[in-house]
């Protein structure tokens, strides 16, 4: 697996493509290369292979991810799963509204959601431990 093809210095792009072409000719069973969408066609053309595209997270999947990540910080004694749901849903809606992300181009990306969960972890824990009904 080669991750982050789009993060390679542009002056090394051709060298890496040549390396991938050589790897493709070996006895490797599978070769996975990840990139952001803007370089997808370059890889398809140079490696003569159609790509697979990951679907963005749905709102339900995002909320579930946030809940799982925050549960790790609360420990096994966490019982307020409804409070997790309230905060995660509110955060998701506020984020989508604040950046006009109705089509989930940002909030549908797992890495962005990991960073979102980390950035709002302390605020979530504060809400979770409070008696507030809304974040």
Question: For position 92, what pLDDT does the model report?
Answer: 83
Question: For position 111, what pLDDT does the model report?
Answer: 82
Range list of H helices, the chain: 13-24, 40-47, 59-74, 81-98, 110-119, 121-129
Question: For position 6, what pLDDT does the model report?
Answer: 92
- Rounded to whole angstroms, what are the CA distances from 79 to 30, 74, 92, 125, 129? 43, 9, 22, 13, 11
CA–CA separation, 40 and 81 (whole Å): 39
Per-residue pLDDT band at 51 (split at 50, 70, 90) = very high
pLDDT score of 47 more than 90: yes
pLDDT score of 110 more than 90: no
At 52-92, the pLDDT tens digits run: 988 888 888 888 888 888 888 777 666 767 888 888 888 88
Mean pLDDT of 7-21: 94
> Could you state, in order of their start, the residue ranges of all structural domains in the chain?
5-47, 59-129
The neighbouring-strand residues paired with 2 are 33
**Residue from 85, 78, 79 nearest 62 by CA:** 85
CA dihedral sign, ordered 74, 75, 77, 78: positive
Question: For position 127, what pLDDT does the model report?
Answer: 87
Length of the chain: 135
Question: For position 78, what pLDDT does the model report?
Answer: 66
Could you give phi then psi for residue 36, rounded to 5 degrees? Answer: -80, 160
């Amino acid at each position: 697996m080669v991750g982050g093809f789009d993060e390679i210095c542009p002056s090394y792009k051709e060298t890496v493509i040549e390396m991938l072409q050589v790897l493709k000719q070996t006895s490797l069973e599978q070769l996975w290369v990840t990139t952001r969408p803007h370089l997808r066609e370059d890889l398809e053309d140079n490696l003569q292979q159609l790509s697979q595209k990951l679907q963005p997270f749905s709102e339900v999947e995002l909320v579930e991810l946030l809940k799982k990540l925050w549960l790790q910080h609360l420990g096994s004694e966490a019982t307020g799963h409804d409070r997790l749901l309230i905060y995660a849903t509110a955060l998701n809606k506020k984020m989508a509204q604040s950046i006009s992300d109705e089509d989930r181009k940002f909030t549908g990306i797992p890495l962005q959601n990991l960073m979102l969960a980390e950035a709002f972890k302390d605020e979530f824990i504060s809400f979770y431990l409070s008696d507030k009904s809304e974040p």
